[in-house]
Structure 1
Amino acid sequence: MLYELIGIVRPSGNLGEVKEIVLTAGQLILQQNGVIRGLSNWGVFSLPKAVSVHQMRHQKGHYFAMRFDASVGTQEAVRNMLRLDPRMIRHASVKLGDGKLGTMSRFGGVDWSR
């Protein structure tokens, strides 16, 4: 299945934290025979409203997006790993398509230019 993961990391001013989180998630996907289709760093933006997570209040967050093919179990493992990481503010995964080759071919390439 093709999934898109959008994550928000606490904005520490250190891009290394974001890279570590993405690297860990990517390694987990690859270890379980998944394929990473695209990765994008969106940068730091204000959150729509202040969020309290892990006993901290956040006004801004560092956004990233990742598209990957993986099994349902792999996707759940990635979600659980991100949920337990204290550097993460929020994350969401969305399944793209219904997994059938006919509908997946209509998606075309991943356009990260927007």
Structure 2
Amino acid sequence: MLYEIIGIARPGNLAEVKEIVLSAGQIILRNGGVIRDIKNWGTFRLPKPISRHQVRYTKGHYFIMRYDSGIKTHQEVKETLAVDPRIIRAGGVKLGDGTLMNTIRFGEIPWRKFE
């Protein structure tokens, strides 16, 4: 199945974001998955302030990862991100129904800069 995870990490340190994506990617690859795309969206203001691990955040560093894997691998990635203290929030969705013709329409991850 094709999955997509959007994560929000603590702002200010790109190296932390790289480590988070690396650890999630290693889980996917170790379990036979394939990483399709990773995008670094950068730091943006959160829609509303979020308290996580006794810290209140108003900005977050957004990243997105699209990958093929089984449901157990997807759950393991979500659980890993949920317990990581560097992550403010993360959410994942299944794209399509798993057939090649339906998943092929999800191409590159789009991102439009707002000015």
Amino acid at match of 1:79: K
Asked if 1:109 is matched to 2:107, the reply is yes
Pairs within 5 Å for 1:69-80: 69-80=68-79
Asked if 1:2 is matched to 2:12, the reply is no
Distance 1:113 1:80 in 2: 26
Distance 2:76 2:25 in 1: 11
Specify whether residues 21 and 108 from structure 1 end up closer, same or farther in structure 2 by C-alpha distance, changes over 3 A only.
closer
Distance 1:95 1:83 in 2: 18
CA contact (8 A) 1:40 1:112 kept: no
Post-superposition offset of 1:100:
1.7
Post-superposition offset of 1:104:
2.2
CA contact (8 A) 2:37 2:109 kept: no
Report the TM-score, using the length of structure 2 for normalisation: 0.92
| Structure 2 stretches lacking a partner, 5+ long | none
Report the TM-score, using the length of structure 1 for normalisation: 0.93
Distance 2:16 2:40 in 1: 12
1:37-86 Cα shifts (integer Å, max 9, x gaps): 00000000000000001111000000000100000000000000000000
* Corresponding residue number in structure 2 for 1:50: 49
Distance 1:62 1:54 in 2: 16
What root-mean-square deviation, in Å, do the aligned CA atoms of Structure 1 and Structure 2 show?
1.2
Q: Which aligned segments of 4 or more residues in structure 1 are displaced greater than 3 angstroms?
A: 111-114
